[in-house]
Structure 1
Amino acid sequence: MKHAAALLSLATSVPPHLLHQEQVLAAARNILSHRYPEFDTLSSIFANTGVINRYGVKPIEWYFEQRGWPERTVAFLEGAEALFIDVARKAIERAALTASDIDTVVTVCSTGIATPSLEARVAGKIGFRSDVSRVPVFGLGCAGGVTGLSIASRLARARPGTNVLLVAIELCTLAVRHDELTKANIVAASLFGDGAAAVVLRAGDGGATRITGTGEHLWPDTLDVMGWKIDPEGFGVIFQRTIPDFVRTNMNPAISGILALMDLSIGNIDRFICHPGGTKVVLALETALVLNQGALDHERSVLADFGNMSAPTVLFVLERARARGLPPRSLLTSLGPGFTASCVALQHAA
């Protein structure tokens, strides 16, 4: 592909507070069990998500208290700005660039509201030029890492030779709710963590790993599968359907259709790099993509070490896959609100 965008660098970052799954379960039991009789039955979810540790922008004690929009927003802005600066600097340095070399910044985030957006808030501290192009993207949820990479790659292709920085950052733990006595809230408490990932892309001058195709599939009448509801307390998680069952039934034809537009098939892909929504979702993906059970090993290890961080999680998986050595052809996939499947095809030259 002429002027395909190449990955110059990839970096990840997590906030400083390590949250062990046992700690989170104990806290959830203390806060919810006396008001929610079903909690003891649902608490087994904590052992079944595949999560061992995750990270939060606040120490665990902060989450013991009920928080409203003002407190959540202050915590979001402080935590997100710090993570943005850290992960962006690492990615820019690994690309052998300086912040003033960045021409476009794509910021993907769905777990907080910031106006001005995050890249504007940190521009002076990082050293972006005054004429840097800013592309903040909200609402992609767990699909944001892959869709954000797709957007960034198209922007790089549109202006060959320019440097595009993608930052995917989510602070999912700040959405923890004391008032939502639902299974969906228990699942969220058992699963979500905070993190950020950044990628620097450039088109027109080669690169070992190139983006050769992108695509999305939006299923009709699926707005209730996943998302946020917004009320006076903050974000409230929406999980209205059994996502693993949906994946097993619908993922293969959607991915096959996207690949067909690239003149590829599932059999042409050497490695799938997937967003690990949870253990059951990973198993469902292996079934849907006709993979051996256990094939999505990096997905499981990232989920265990960091939890589901929404948008950046798949880029953590890509980081581990790159460290092990990418095969000639990989496909990044993620699922998110819409309900949407998003894909990015990578071609790697050893």
Structure 2
Amino acid sequence: MATSCRPSVSVPEHVITMEETLEPARERHAGHPQLPPALRLMENTGVRTRHIVQPIEETLKHPGFEDRDRLYEREAKARVPAVVQRALDDAELLTTDIDVIIYVSCTGFMMPSMTAWLINKMGFESTTRQIPIAQLGCAAGGAAINRAHDFCTACHEANALIVACEFCSLCCQPTDIGVGSLLSNGLFGDGIAGAVVLDALRRLFDEGGVHDRARGLPAGFGPGITAEMSLGRWQTADERTSDELQGVRQA
């Protein structure tokens, strides 16, 4: 059964508060007819701070797509490897154990893709499959998990690495006065996440199964929508027989 290991998450060091977000919006778009409801919506989301890859003063400038894309590549290459390594460590795997890398991002463009760079930079096998996914926005993480599940279901001994890298602040368009742009500029932050998806049950039994006296929560489902669960301890057949004999002797 495909299972996601604990994710590794990293955010940039520059922090912007909600008030620091609202102030330039009020100044730059003072006459916008939809500004008041947009500001109220941003305030009511509960987002108090966001992390971005460069100071807000630089973020509000727009040197052009080429410069922004160059910054995306530089920041991604500087920050992604550490996230990947922590995800591998949490899964107790090496780069050579990974069969497919799924990389999702819609805020920057690289050719060759980031997956190819990671394979060459971090020592993944040259046969590692690559699935770069772009232009799916907020749904990209879910799509990546689905593709990892599909891959691990088709290849039962496979290990999949998911990496999501989004620098939304690099997509800030200061001159775009659309309500959608105002909201996205005021809500989304920058960050990187990585996780390994593998067949945890197969690994458990490959490593000898559950150790004696381990605690667990067995669950049974069906028929229909019924379910039964109970808390217990794992016990080997030899120990169970020994305990039964001991009980007979005591009786």
- TM-score (normalised: structure 1): 0.55
Describe the superposition over 1:282-315 as per-residue Cα deviations: whole angstroms up to 9, x where unpaired.
Answer: xxxxxxxxxxxxxxxxxxxxxxxxxxxxxxxxxx
Compute the displacement of 1:77 (Å).
1.1
**Uncovered stretches (5+) of structure 1, i.e. residues with no partner:** 208-262, 269-350
| Identity value in percent | 30
RMSD: 2.5
Q: Provide the secondary structure at the position in 2 that maps to 1:160.
A: coil
Q: Provide the secondary structure at the position in 1 that maps to 2:24.
A: helix
Residue 24 of structure 2 is aligned to residue 27 of structure 1: yes
Instruction: Identify the match of residue 57 of structure 2 among 53, 57, 61.
Output: 61
**Counterpart mapping for 1:108-187 below 5 A:** 108-187=104-183
Compute the displacement of 1:177 (Å).
0.9
Aligned residue in 1 for 2:241: none
Aligned residue in 2 for 1:76: 72
2-structure distance, mates of 1:41, 1:5: 44
Larger Rg: 2
**Preserved contact between residue 51 and residue 191 of structure 2 (Cα < 8 Å):** yes
1-structure distance, mates of 2:94, 2:32: 52
Aligned residue in 1 for 2:39: 43
**Uncovered stretches (5+) of structure 2, i.e. residues with no partner:** 205-222, 228-251
Aligned residue in 2 for 1:7: 4
Aligned residue in 1 for 2:88: 92
Describe the superposition over 1:135-181 as per-residue Cα deviations: whole angstroms up to 9, x where unpaired.
Answer: 11112211111121010111112222221101122111111111111
2-structure distance, mates of 1:60, 1:199: 29
- Give the 3 Å change call, closer, same or farther, for CA 49–264 of structure 1 in structure 2: farther
Q: Provide the secondary structure at the position in 2 that maps to 1:113.
A: coil
Residue 11 of structure 2 is aligned to residue 17 of structure 1: no
- Give the 3 Å change call, closer, same or farther, for CA 36–8 of structure 1 in structure 2: closer
**Preserved contact between residue 83 and residue 195 of structure 1 (Cα < 8 Å):** no
**Preserved contact between residue 151 and residue 158 of structure 2 (Cα < 8 Å):** no
Q: Provide the secondary structure at the position in 2 that maps to 1:66.
A: coil
2-structure distance, mates of 1:41, 1:108: 32
2-structure distance, mates of 1:180, 1:8: 40
Q: Which amino acid aligns with 1:205?
A: R
- Give the 3 Å change call, closer, same or farther, for CA 123–19 of structure 1 in structure 2: farther
2-structure distance, mates of 1:15, 1:28: 22
Compute the displacement of 1:123 (Å).
2.7
**Preserved contact between residue 6 and residue 206 of structure 1 (Cα < 8 Å):** no
Kindly indicate which of the two structures has a greater share of residues assigned to helix: 2
Q: Provide the secondary structure at the position in 1 that maps to 2:103.
A: strand
Describe the superposition over 1:14-62 as per-residue Cα deviations: whole angstroms up to 9, x where unpaired.
Answer: 12211211112223333x2356465355322331122111111112121
1-structure distance, mates of 2:13, 2:117: 21
Q: Which amino acid aligns with 1:43?
A: L
